[in-house]
Chain A
Amino acid sequence: EAGVAQSPRYKIIEKRQSVAFWCNPISGHATLYWYQQILGQGPKLLIQFQNNGVVDDSQLPKDRFSAERLKGVDSTLKIQPAKLEDSAVYLCASSLDLQVSYGYTFGSGTRLTVV
């Protein structure tokens, strides 16, 4: 089966600019996650969707980050305006449902550099 697709693969922007990342999960996967991974750390969960609804966005810095999954399939994560500390890899993952025993499938991520 096709994996989780993410684009772009790399992005370099200046601070205060805006950026958007796109994710296409595995077909049929109801649950979608966005993680932020700073160099040398484990992934940090930003937001969790079940179909087109937000389940948990408690760790999302809502003053600058936003995410949507309008039709319950693809998702976009936006940062506006970006700060230097947003430099990280943004990972998208999907799973069949909220039951984590199904396991997650991760994309390769988008590496963001803010200069």
Chain B
Amino acid sequence: LAKTTQPISMDSYEGQEVNITCSHNNIATNDYITWYQQFPSQGPRFIIQGYKTKVTNEVASLFIPADRKSSTLSLPRVSLSDTAVYYCLVPVYNQGGKLIFGQGTELSVKP
């Protein structure tokens, strides 16, 4: 089973900031939090990973509070091309590390 919980869907408009929150109450001390993005007819694509506080790259920011039981993916000024499914993942260590995907959050950006 996936170790995370996130909203099934979100709607936004072009130019807005979108924040997707994920809960991972049972995260272990050494676990990283990873986010992937999936467009239709493509495989998931790694977008950002973090351990604590804040991480920023050219695509998104990831905010992780001190207790690390949740995280928030922030997409600044979204465009129509950001319409995708976003997955929040914490690795599962059972016979080797692996990523177990949940249903993800389907983000729909409207004009």
Chain A interface (Cβ < 8 Å from any Cβ of B): 4, 31, 33, 35, 41-45, 48, 50, 55-56, 58, 91, 93, 98-101, 103-109, 111
**Is the pair B46, A55 in contact by a Cβ cutoff of 8 Å?**
no
**Is the pair B43, A109 in contact by a Cβ cutoff of 8 Å?**
yes
Chain B interface (Cβ < 8 Å from any Cβ of A): 2, 32, 34, 36, 41-46, 49, 85, 87, 91, 94-104
Give the A-B pair count, Cβ closer than 8 A.
66
What residues of chain B lie closer than 8 Å to A108, measured between beta carbons?
A: 41-43
- CB-based nearest A residue for B104: A42
**Is the pair A106, B44 in contact by a Cβ cutoff of 8 Å?**
yes
The 8 closest A-B pairs by CB, nearest first: A106-B43, A42-B101, A100-B91, A56-B95, A55-B96, A103-B46, A100-B97, A98-B96
**Is the pair A104, B46 in contact by a Cβ cutoff of 8 Å?**
yes
**Is the pair A93, B43 in contact by a Cβ cutoff of 8 Å?**
yes
